[in-house]
Amino acid sequence: MDLQTLTYIVVGITFALYIGIAFWARAGSTSEFYVAGGGIHPVANGMATAADWMSAASFISMAGLIAFFGYGGSVFLMGWTGGYVLLAMLLAPYLRKYGKFTVPEFIGDRYYSRAARIVAVICLIVASVTYVIGQMKGIGVAFSRFLQVGYETGLLVGMGIVFVYAVMGGMKGITYTQIAQYCVLILAYTIPAIFISIHLTGNPIPQLGLGSTLSGTDTFLLDRLDQVVTELGFAEYTTSKRLSTLNTFVYTLSLMIGTAGLPHVIIRFFTVTKVSDARKSAGWALVFITILYTTAPAVAAMARLNLHQTIEPAPGEYLSYEARPQWFKNWEVTGLLQFEDKNGDGKILYTANAETNEMVKVDRDIMVLANPEIARLPNWVIALVAAGGLAAALSTAAGLLLAISSAISHDLLKGVFMPDIDEKQELMASRVAMAGAIALAGYLGFNPPDFAAGTVALAFGLAASSIFPVLMMGIFTKSINKEGAISGMVAGITVTLLYVFQHTGIMFVASTSYLGDMSPNWFFGIEPNAFGAVGALVNFVVAFAVSKVTAPPPDHIQHMVEDIRIPAGAGDATGH
């Protein structure tokens, strides 16, 4: 069976599964729509959380970035994984104990202010919309290559699938769909990695294969990769780092606290029955996430080695353009891979020298998706990878869209502007808001950034500078008042956005700064995508300074903060 037909079958089966789950798990109340009724089992919730958290950036872009940046790409592994640990330990259990539907609702109650709730909603929407663009790019890339349809058509189909299960089921439908999507994406990620690891090293465990010798030789895989890339003028794979040590540290920190501040992940911990279940969910999610995140470095290194060895089969012997393999032709059609014969010799010269390099475009996002084709794996494996990439993008997109729609319907409409509407009206408003959020995400997806992870990194920076500090202060200090919280959020996200605008021109083209050289105008050499940590520091400083010169929070708010932190009561959480 040819690849395209097989891909349609595999992807079609997964889409049918998602739609079937949507009909089975229709939400009949606001509780089911916002938090799946609050009765999800910790293991199931951990799996859904992993799928929600591992976006197109994790599945498609992260290994591609590590493949081309080598050691310098490890900021994504450290930042995203470390941030999840922060979220699991410092935020999720306490927010679950408080027992409300959304993050802005907690902020509004903790800081006894509708204005604080509205500002939190604005920050949430800005960060979530920025993040969802990366998911739209992932959907479009996977569709355009594997299903042989245009980027726009693929994006519309993806929007339609999300519309069905997210609008019908809300969090209930999304949760059970994400469990299925996790199974699809983790199989799609690990199976090709196992095949390629066996082929290159003879070791069936990719994590061990990364540190093994190549089959039939005494040369270690990473040593061979270092040799290949340095001969072509690229930085050594295992030691190169991007920009300064300070920039690396700040970038990692920005990704960490941004992860801990992303509302679409936090809201997942509201779907379990007890606070103890929230902690168990966090532990299980980390297990499920670890499977992919420990595999990614192996996928990256093996993909980079396969790419170079395909184009340069032997030292100094470059592949003829006319003899280029089928995978090369397939990706040329998408525009994500481009060749220009600069010297007219008909051969593909791929070097680090921009003047002589003829691989004028190798989009980082293709590495995971093209890797099985480059390695000549069976068609069913390639089809499974396509389904996995779509599952990763759809699962996170749904979570983000739910966070956006909940903020609009529950926090703005019900919480501020129309508090007297009944549950049925609020549920309808939630579905309308979800449909509107999908339409907005699709519109922005038609003008995507250069690659998904760059935009995602910016989204984490926005969450880091606005939402994370106000949650931390809300849980762990009684002294921050409403004036301090509002001022801190506004200052943090404003400083971050202004810095990004100043150094990239357009907020969503995050890759302009990410792939370029260090700008002499950067603040201490910190690139725009990493500036969220600086914005968070501004948030903290402003919040404490303003709170110091204004009235302290009321006594009942201070008692509420104490109650949230008390370990006792880790059984049933407070009611909704």
Calpha distance 175→329 (Å, rounded) = 38
Neighbours of 323 (CB within 10 A): 10
For 387, the 3-state DSSP assignment is helix
What does the domain layout of the chain look like in residue ranges? 3-296+375-565
Phi, psi at residue 565, to the nearest 5°? Answer: -90, -15
First vs last Cα of the chain: how many Å apart?
A: 53
CB-based contact 478:564 (threshold 8 Å):
no
pLDDT reported for residue 354: 82
pLDDT reported for residue 224: 93
CATH code for the structural domain at 3-296+375-565:
1.20.1730.10
pLDDT reported for residue 540: 96
* Per-residue pLDDT tens over the stretch 127-172: 887 777 767 766 776 676 667 777 777 778 877 877 777 777 677 7
pLDDT reported for residue 457: 63
pLDDT reported for residue 162: 77
Calpha distance 514→509 (Å, rounded) = 9
For 179, the 3-state DSSP assignment is helix
Calpha distance 258→471 (Å, rounded) = 12
Tell me the pTM. 0.81
CB-based contact 184:50 (threshold 8 Å):
no
Three-class HEC string of 12-66: HHHHHHHHHHHHHCCCCCHHHHHHHHHCCCHHHHHHHHHHHHCCHHHHHHHHHHH
Nearby residues of 450 by Cβ (< 8 Å), 6 or more positions away: 363, 509, 511, 512, 515
pLDDT reported for residue 38: 66
Token output for 21: 């789950």
* Per-residue pLDDT tens over the stretch 374-411: 888 888 988 888 888 888 877 778 778 888 888 888 77
pLDDT reported for residue 204: 94
**Digits of tens for pLDDT over the chain (576 positions)?**
777 788 888 888 988 888 888 778 776 666 766 666 667 888 988 898 888 878 777 887 788 888 888 888 888 888 888 888 888 888 878 887 777 767 888 898 899 989 999 998 888 888 887 777 767 766 776 676 667 777 777 778 877 877 777 777 677 778 888 888 899 999 999 999 999 999 999 999 999 999 999 998 999 999 999 998 898 888 888 887 767 788 888 888 988 998 888 877 777 777 777 778 878 888 898 899 999 999 999 999 999 999 888 888 777 788 888 888 888 888 887 777 888 888 888 888 888 888 888 888 887 878 888 888 888 888 898 888 888 888 887 777 877 888 888 888 877 877 778 878 887 787 788 888 888 888 887 777 776 544 444 556 677 888 899 999 999 999 999 999 999 999 999 999 999 888 877 755 443 333 333 334 445 567 777 888 788 899 999 999 999 999 999 999 999 998 888 888 775 444 444 434
Element (H, E) at 337: strand 337-338
Q: How far is CA 216 from the centre of its chain?
A: 38
Q: What is the DSSP string of 117-161?
A: HHHHHHHHHHHHHHHHHHHHHHHHHHHHHHS---HHHHHHHHHHH
HSE, CB side, 13 Å, CA atoms: give it for residue 98. Answer: 27
